Structure 1
């Protein structure tokens, strides 16, 4: 149960980070073709960092889960 909660939180963080990256353009506070305003630069850095950190954490979790499954399978055959 704790694993599902953790993975769910990481997925939500990843999606939130992606939204921060997309929001300036989707909501429209970044004029098309204009120099990026400070809010856009902030959203891109923070959103990109949050999304990247969440993605790396998900990959590490998936690798650990696969390693655990392989370990269990190896010992089940013995």
Structure 2
């Protein structure tokens, strides 16, 4: 149960980070062709950081889960 809650939180953080990256362009407060406004730069850095950190955490969790499954499989053969 705790694992599902943690993975769900990481997925939501990842999606939130992606939204922060896309928001300036989707909502339209970044004028097309203009230099990036401060809000856009902030959203890109913060959203990108959140997305990357949550994605790396998900990959580490998945690798650990696969390692645990492989370890259980080895012990089942004995």
TM-score (norm 2): 1.00
1:12-71 Cα shifts (integer Å, max 9, x gaps) = 000000000000000000000000000000000000000000000000000000000000
1:57 aligned partner: 57
SS of equivalent residue, structure 2 residue 30: coil
**Structure 1: gaps spanning 5 or more residues:** none
Tell me the number of residue pairs that the alignment of Structure 1 and Structure 2 aligns. Answer: 78
C-alpha distance in 2, partners of 1:73/1:3?
A: 20
C-alpha distance in 1, partners of 2:19/2:46?
A: 11
Point out 4+ residue stretches in structure 1 off by more than 2 angstroms. Answer: none
TM-score (norm 1): 1.00
The Cα RMSD (Å) is 0.2
